[in-house]
Amino acid sequence: MSNLLFPTPEPSTIAIQNSDQVFPVRRIYCIGRNYADHAIEMGHDPDKEPPFFFQKNTDNINTSGQFPYPSMSQDVHFEMELVIALHQGGKNIPLENALDHVYGYALGLDMTRRDLQGQMKKMGRPWEIGKAFEHSAPISNIYPINQVGHLTHGNIQLKVNGEKRQQGDLNQMIWKTPEMISYLSKYYELAPGDLIMSGTPAGVGAIQVGDQLEGEIEGLGKLEVLVV
């Protein structure tokens, strides 16, 4: 018998490719400006400064194939990203062991209310309101490393209505997967179920209702999302 005041919500889960099991999500860490050409398009110096992270809410995970245009924004952007899924956690994880913590990879979209994010940046306030909102983390199935290996290079791109808008290579990431895991684990205790959204290449832009987004990462499948 439970003494919970009300029932806990269903956990956010993500399908695992070629498996009946699902991946339960604990936290979603997102790195900012991890591709030099995107840092430049956002008006920043691409030099390797220490990484910075923000979080989305676990229940922002969206596996529906649809992205409802969010409230309170006139400028919602797509950011196509490789997502790293962890099945082991820890504190102060050394670089050499960091990849052992990776269960697999997925394609994800870091949907962003850019106008709200920009206002908050200008005022020196937290920009969570621009990043962590309902349905803001569309994601594909997770591809376990025993099916796809570790992804260190390869094409990452996003088409909108069939037209290529974002393109880069995973090897352009300023902070690599082991570095992100090791760095995060100095500040947080990582745990199984944590996701890391690894940043977006150049070409981010605004969406409209009716747009069909089609992300691709070499070695993984596709992520197709309709804006509704």
The amino acid that residue 117 corresponds to is Q
Residue 1 tokens read as: 């018998």
Q: Please state the closest distance from residue 22 (CB atom) to Mn ion, in A.
A: 24
Report 55-114 residues binding Mn ion (CB under 5 A): 79, 110
Our CB check for Mn ion shows the closer of 16 and 170 to be 170
Our CB check for Mn ion shows the closer of 110 and 214 to be 110
Give yes or no for residue 133 binding Mn ion (CB under 5 A).
no
181-188: long-range contacts (C-beta < 8 A, 24 or more apart)? 181/84, 181/86, 181/93, 181/98, 181/99, 181/101, 181/102, 182/93, 182/94, 182/95, 182/98, 183/50, 183/51, 184/29, 184/53, 185/89, 185/90, 185/91, 185/92, 185/93, 186/91, 186/92, 188/27, 188/29
CB closest to Mn ion, residue no: 110
Q: Please state the closest distance from residue 5 (CB atom) to Mn ion, in A.
A: 36
The amino acid that residue 19 corresponds to is S
Our CB check for Mn ion shows the closer of 110 and 216 to be 110
Identify any residues that bridge with 92 across adjacent strands, giving them in sequence order: none
Q: Under rule CB under 5 A, how many of the chain's residues touch Mn ion?
A: 3
Q: Please state the closest distance from residue 81 (CB atom) to Mn ion, in A.
A: 6
Our CB check for Mn ion shows the closer of 23 and 35 to be 35
Binding site for Mn ion (CB under 5 A): 79, 110, 200
